[in-house]
Amino acid sequence: MEILNLFPLSIYKSKVGLDDDLRKTLIQEIYNQENESKNNRTKMYNERSSWTGDVYGHEYLYKEKKFEVLYDLIGKHIINYAKKIGYNEEKIDFYYQRSWATVSRKNEYIKYHNHSQSHLSFAYYLKKDKDQGAINFHDNFKHNEIIPGTFESTSTRTADFLKLNVLNAAQIRIEPNEDEIIVFPSKTFHSTSPSESDSERISISADVSIISKNSNKIEKFITPVREWQKFK
């Protein structure tokens, strides 16, 4: 007997190898961005929401000179992920569409969401200690949920009707380490767990779009930007 696990969601996890001195420089730059926004800081969702730079005008970090080396390194990992799931990197171009920093303090988190406007997304952990929370991936399809509602029901688990395992989990937690990157399809719903540490967790996220170099006879890819025309 065997269980065949079909249609897997593939999440990429790897160490980036950013120089420690540069990492400290970027951490300070993100603190500077956060401090600049203190006078007009608002909690977008609730009092436990993490600070996210895109809300305060810092949503294109890849354009900043200090971050150039980091995004060059990350680009290699994104291309590697695309290759692993079967895409031919010689036929497509990758574009950073938007990128921002997130600062999470004790008990702060990012709520359940996805990034439907892009193809790939990532989270890179610039500063992270133990007990500073996980990134959670949520299964909206629940292919194995033969009785609707049971995979997310607390009562079915507490009454021993269902034993938690990877085949019935409604969400999977990944505990990344400092200097690690997580890459995933942008459409995947995800969230972060609240930090239990007194020190800050700092991550950098981005949305990436993939465009064909030559879309002749290919209808599913976004056509090359050079072929676009803005309305007059």
Q: Where are the beta strands (DSSP E) in 10-134?
A: 12-15, 51-52, 92-104, 120-127
Total domains in the chain come to: 1
Residue 153 domain flag: no
Residue 21 lies in a domain: yes
CB 208 within 8 A of CB 78: yes
Q: At what angle do helices 68-84 and 20-36 cross, to 10 degrees?
A: 110
Please check whether residue 84 is in contact with residue 12, taking contact to mean a CB–CB distance below 8 angstroms: yes
Kindly give, in sequence order, each residue whose CB lies less than 8 Å from that of residue 157, ignoring residues fewer than 6 positions away.
163, 164
Q: Report how far residue 129's alpha carbon sits from residue 15's, in angstroms, rounded to the nearest whole number.
A: 15
B/e letters for 27-38, b = 16+ CB within 10 Å, e = fewer, are bebbeebbeeee
In this prediction, residue 162 carries a pLDDT of 84
Per-residue pLDDT of the chain (232 residues; tens, 9 = 90+): 998 888 889 999 999 999 999 999 999 999 999 998 876 655 554 567 788 999 889 999 999 999 999 999 999 999 999 999 999 999 999 999 999 999 999 898 899 999 999 999 999 999 998 878 899 999 888 889 998 888 877 776 656 788 888 888 888 999 999 999 999 999 999 999 988 888 999 999 999 999 999 877 778 888 888 889 999 9
pLDDT of res. 226: 87
132, 201 contact by CB (below 8 A):
yes
Q: Tell me whether residue 159 is in a domain.
A: no
| Domain membership flag for residue 19 | yes
The reply to whether 141 falls in a domain is no
Q: Write out the residue range of the structural domain in which residue 210 sits.
A: 12-134+175-214
Is 187 part of any domain? Answer: yes
CA 112/CA 106 separation, integer angstroms: 18
At 120, the amino acid letter reads: L
This prediction's pTM: 0.90
Amino acid 156: pLDDT? 67
CA distance 116 to 79: 20
**201 found inside a domain:** yes
Query: What φ, ψ does residue 208 adopt, rounded to 5°?
Result: -125, 135
The confidence score (pLDDT) of residue 95 equals: 97
Residue entry with tokens 């239990």: 196
Minimal CA–CA distance to 22: which of 62, 69, 72?
Answer: 69
Element of type H or E holding 203: strand 201-212
* Calpha distance 178→47 (Å, rounded): 26
How is residue 136 written in tokens?
């959670």
**CATH code for position 63:** 2.60.120.620
Considering the domain boundaries, does residue 160 fall inside one? no
Strands 135-138 and 190-192: antiparallel
pLDDT of the residue at 32 = 94
Q: What pLDDT is attached to residue 79?
A: 98
Distance CA 167, CA 181 (A): 25
